[in-house]
Amino acid sequence: MASLQLSFNISTSKTQISNPFLSSSNTRRTKNPFFSNTKTYPFAVKCSYPFSVKCSALSSISPEIEKTEDTQELTSQIHGPLHEIWREIQGFNNWDNLLDPMNDILRREIIRYGEMAQACYDSFDFDPNSKYCGTCKYQGANFFEKLGMADRGYTLTRFIYATSNINLPNFFQKSKLSSIWSQHANWMGYVAVATDEEEIRRLGRRDIVVAWRGTVTYLEWIHDLKDILHPAHFRDDPSIKIESGFFDLYTTKEKTCEYCSYSAREQVLAEMRRIIHRYRHENLSITITGHSLGAALALLSAYDIAEMNVNIIDNGEEMNITRIPITVFSFSGPRVGNLKFKERCDELGVKVLRVINIHDKVPKVPGIFTNENFQYQKYIEDKISFPWSYAHVGVELALDHTKSPFLKNNGDIRNAHNLEAHLHLLDGYHGKDKEFHLASNRDIALVNKSCDFLKSEYGVPPNWWQDEHKGMVRTSDGRWVLPERPRVEAHPPDTAHHFEQVLKNARA
């Protein structure tokens, strides 16, 4: 399995930045999460792209784009190694001067987080003929290793499970066989934290990642959305509302099932509190990512973490509170809540970069008619309490798959929604009016892992990503069997303690 490694050595003067940050939800002065002191480290970027498949036709057929004077101007006004500019990369200035032209470091970081979301698809057992359908194929200890991502410098700390009371048949995958696992829960993602010292130096902080799985049934899940807003009630403002299907998936639990005896919400908040408490004396960031349905859950959990003050560290001194920055890199995400929800996310300082394909239908729902583009949206929410009013949160990075010379343009909406296709488009995007060419030569074969989007002349078969023999192995007596998988720990024993601490701190 091939990988791509890029190394850079850049020396630059460190920009002196000041600008106090005052929390809108707390009267005490907080340390600005994007402007805390950091050490200066030698800069080395390693970008390994796993799942690499060599395409023999690529070298002879792929369009070669000459670098002209226009394509030379591909750097933004913000320069420096990641450990010096990570706050800007994480969205402190809402990515001003970073998207057009596209900043090379930002591109690499978005792709890196997108690959962490893609890992949820690549490790999910969605085969209804498997008794393990609905679970993760790998143990947490070797999760990244099995996916060719062992060099990423992160350690997986927890799996996330979810259940639902609402009839959402296309949200969950269930086995046709008698399941030995659970009839209620589905594996929905993971929490990981940067633990490799070299990676921490490169990042300029210890990064905590939450990655949410999207749906494996492509767009069918959209039809399950009820387009009904539900009050969040995470704090005391009932005017902040969330689409009911997302809310239910995030908050529902089933006491009779060991994997969803805590809701996805409780699992995430407890784990975030545990990790933050452990590393509270370090420079931290929280990055949440997801695709499709996972993008909705990413935004919802980011809002929840901020609303519940989980990202606030009280250093025990008056006027001395640290607020850990929260950034969402979402892909093909639908609208999640109403205008009040958007405004509250902005007040809490949740930074969101939404990567979309302009030909994808999912980012246009729900709220087709009444959304952030409607002139009187605020009026109808405040005065009429219109129940179908939605608003996108954050900054949009709009891509166009017709710009890529590698992709078909056959109008297949499933292709337009595919996450690997988005990562391919990111690699070739340099600005709204810039010519498309691959910045890192990321393997185009990755596009066809779970779709048929590459032009046929590249010789890459569609939907090629699959387990060898579908996980079946041959025993010593010559029989083919599906080996038993070790049962993973449902919830760490201190989950209840940390969630109770979340509620206690939120009330304080």
Q: Is residue 127 annotated as a catalytic residue, yes or no?
A: no
Contacts of residues 379-388 at CB distance under 8 Å and 24 or more positions apart, as own/partner, are 381/239, 381/338, 381/339, 381/340, 387/228, 387/229, 388/227, 388/228, 388/229
Lowest mean pLDDT among 71-75, 120-124, 421-425, 471-475: 71-75
Closest to 448 (Cα-Cα) out of 51, 2, 4, 47:
51
pTM for this predicted structure: 0.84
- pLDDT of the residue at 167: 62
If one counts the domains in the chain, the total is: 1
Length of the chain as a residue count = 508
Lowest mean pLDDT among 89-98, 157-166, 219-228: 219-228
Q: How far apart are CA 360 and CA 333, in angstroms?
A: 10
Pairing of strands 320-323, 241-243: unpaired
The answer to whether position 162 is within a domain reads yes
> Which residues constitute the domain of residue 479?
21-507
The answer to whether position 26 is within a domain reads yes
- Answer for the pair 379, 388: CB distance below 8 angstroms, yes or no: no
The DSSP annotation for 28-79 comes to: SEEE-TTS---------------SB---TTHHHHSPP----HHHH----S--
The answer to whether position 141 is within a domain reads yes
- pLDDT of the residue at 283: 97
The answer to whether position 199 is within a domain reads yes
Lowest mean pLDDT among 98-102, 112-116, 244-248, 330-334: 244-248
Q: Which of 292, 330, 332, 389 is catalytic?
A: 292
Q: How far apart are CA 172 and CA 165, in angstroms?
A: 12
The answer to whether position 246 is within a domain reads yes
Look up residue 178 and give its two tokens.
Answer: 């008698």
Look up residue 155 and give its two tokens.
Answer: 């350690």
The answer to whether position 352 is within a domain reads yes
Q: Is residue 360 annotated as a catalytic residue, yes or no?
A: yes
Closest to 89 (Cα-Cα) out of 344, 347, 79:
79
- Answer for the pair 94, 36: CB distance below 8 angstroms, yes or no: no
The answer to whether position 5 is within a domain reads no
- Answer for the pair 275, 471: CB distance below 8 angstroms, yes or no: no
Alpha helices in 186-279 (DSSP H): 197-203, 244-251, 264-278
Q: Which of 104, 125, 360, 452 is catalytic?
A: 360
Q: pLDDT per residue over 457-497, tens digit each?
A: 999 999 999 888 888 889 999 999 888 888 788 899 999 99
Q: Is residue 223 annotated as a catalytic residue, yes or no?
A: no
Q: How far apart are CA 340 and CA 381, in angstroms?
A: 8
The answer to whether position 293 is within a domain reads yes
Helix axis angle, 82-89 to 104-122, nearest 10°: 70
Q: Which of 417, 424, 437, 491 is catalytic?
A: 417
Give yes or no for residue 31 having a pLDDT over 80. Answer: no
Q: pLDDT per residue over 360-414, tens digit each?
A: 999 999 988 888 888 888 878 877 777 788 999 999 999 999 999 999 988 888 9
Residue type, 500: E
CATH number at residue 68: 3.40.50.1820
